[in-house]
Amino acid sequence: MEGTRSAGIPDTVVVVGAGVVGLSTAWFLQENGIGVTVVDRGRVASGASWGNAGWLSPGLALPLNEPGVVRYGARALVDPRAPLSIASLTEPGLVRFLTRFALNSRASAWRRALEGTLPLNRACLEAYDVLADAGVAVGDTTSPITALFSSERAAAHLLAELRGAAAAGLPLRFDALTGAQAHAALPQAAERVRAGVRIEGQRYLNPGVFTEALAASVRRRGGTVVEDFEVAGLEYDSGTGLTVRSTQGETESAGAVVVATGAWLGRQGGEWGIRVAMGAGRGYSFLVPTAQPFAGPVYLPEVRVACTPHSGGLRLAGTMEFHSPDAPVNPARPRAIADSARGFLRGLRLEERSDEWVGPRPVTDDGLPLVGRTRVPGLYVAGGHGMWGLTQGPVTGRLLAEAISTGKTPDALRPLDPLR
């Protein structure tokens, strides 16, 4: 193991987790002259980074603990088709998480989370541009996101959230659409669509392809990416640093370790002084052929479904299913997504679904990610972004790499302190 450069700044870092957040942290550590090894229990992008909607959408990356979310939670207990689903209250820690999440689903807590994540949303697209300028095959497309609603009253809730985000300082351009304007902008809109909202300046990409490209760039720049490395333990030595040990007895040692394991982070955080509760909010997606191509992403807020052009068809993503991150696909969830989208969009061959997928998203009880130092010397965490890990992943990695390489916490990370 290499020594430290000076004053506790590591020469090498092990990053646990080869998703967007972990690989972005590794990439930006390399930018700061620090050697990296990335390990993952599975393959690159095998968690929530593979089959998500692929949106880079700072305009919609709003905290999940919105004041009306408790109403959805009550429905989830009785309606298996609800966008929010609670698989079983017997899951370890789930009742505690849901209780604390509900208590934080009030206007003041949502506003605090909105202001705390504002620096990430303001800088997230720039971080992608840095990657692209350095040769990472980002492959993103700039496009407005069009939200469709069954009534102007239904559209009012999203418009109020967007106005609140704009008032808080997020650069946003959006327009309310009448029913006629929504149909003109999107010929695939179904008859029941009576209103819309168009959010300008957003982007989308293929998340799996991008994550693979990011891993390839880390390797080209001298980093190591080790797959099928399931961590069994972490050992700290005041003289030599940290050692990560796998279930097979393999070890990786470095001056610091970053844990970016997504929804699995909640299983370990208590040992490191993290008091914020975390749940695995699993999202589902699948691909469908379409009668005609879609020009850009479509959002269906009333049923919480995101639709993205993909492989000549459309990827539909939705559901917030609180369940074990390792549980298999529940076939009822893709069917529910398909049924709910049917009322808003035409020309989808929903019976020809393919690539059904589920990925666990790390949701914190207060709507703020966990990024920074833990109480274990040299141990950092990066996660808890909820549905917005893809949007906020690279900027998170950039900020955390700055903190590790300088020993100083950037102002943007202070609200995200894992020990808060």
Residue pair 272/381 in contact (Cβ under 8 Å)? The answer is: yes
- 16 close to 22: Cβ distance less than 8 angstroms: yes
Instruction: Establish how many alpha carbons lie within 13 A of residue 72's alpha carbon, considering only the half-sphere containing its beta carbon.
Output: 24
Q: How many residues does the chain have?
A: 420
The two structure tokens encoding residue 191: 């008859």
Helix-then-strand count for the chain, H and E = 9, 21
pLDDT in tens, 74-101: 565 556 667 777 877 777 788 889 999 9
Whole-number Å distance between alpha carbons of 50 and 41 = 15
DSSP letter for 66, please.
-
Residues in Cβ contact with 128 at an 8 Å cutoff, skipping those fewer than 6 apart: 56, 138, 140, 203, 394
Locus of tokens 């309606």: 79
Predicted pLDDT at 73: 58
Which pTM value belongs to this model? 0.94
- Backbone φ/ψ region at 56: left (φ over 0), alpha (ψ -120 to 50), beta: beta
Name residue 75's amino acid. Answer: R
Give alpha helix (H) positions in 87-223. 94-103, 107-133, 152-168, 179-185, 207-220
Using one digit for the tens of pLDDT, what is the confidence trace for 301-310? 999 999 999 9
Q: Which residues of the chain have pLDDT under 50?
A: 1-4
What is the reported pLDDT for 386? 95
The conformation of residue 266, written as its DSSP 8-state character, comes to G
Spatial strand order of the sheet with 231-237 comes to: 231-237, 241-246, 251-254
Interatomic CA distance for residues 351 and 349, integer angstroms: 6
Output the CA torsion 183→187→190→193 (10° steps). Answer: -20
Domains of the chain plus CATH, in order, are: 1-61+106-140+205-268+367-420 (3.50.50.60)
Give residue 198's pLDDT: 98
Structure tokens at 115: 């202001």
Instruction: Spell out the residues 6+ positions from residue 122 whose beta carbon is closer than 8 angstroms to its own.
Output: 58, 169, 170, 171
